[in-house]
Amino acid sequence: MFYLQTKDGEKFLTNTDSDDRAEFGRIIENKMGQSAFELYNDIVDSAAEDVHDILVHLRNRYDTCVQALDKALNDKEIDRVKLEEILSDLESIYLDLRELTS
């Protein structure tokens, strides 16, 4: 759902269950034409791919940390330095996610 008022004063309010991307795309196409609509779709698709790639990268980093933590905790002697490194890596992942979502 979104509300939009264009520079020419036209107002748009979508329903709560509407497909905002499709609604916004129709507005762009009506106001600026087919090429602007295609550019909008390309930008949104590219951004979605970028976000997906970033999330996969962060998930892989997280999985690596969890495996390293499991290994470190199952060793006969706990290596505190190794644990601190793993915690630092986990904190880095958290901060990256926090930056992405703020």
Average pLDDT over residues 84-89: 96
- Give the pLDDT confidence of 8-38 residue by residue, as tens digits: 899 999 889 999 999 999 999 999 999 999 9
This prediction has a pTM of 0.68
The tokens describing 87, both together, are 């915690």
What distance, in Å, lies between the first and last C-alpha atoms of the chain? 20
Locate the domains of the chain by residue range.
47-102
DSSP E strand stretches across 1-102 = 3-5, 11-13
Q: How far is CA 2 from the centre of its chain?
A: 20
- Give the pLDDT confidence of 70-83 residue by residue, as tens digits: 999 999 999 999 99
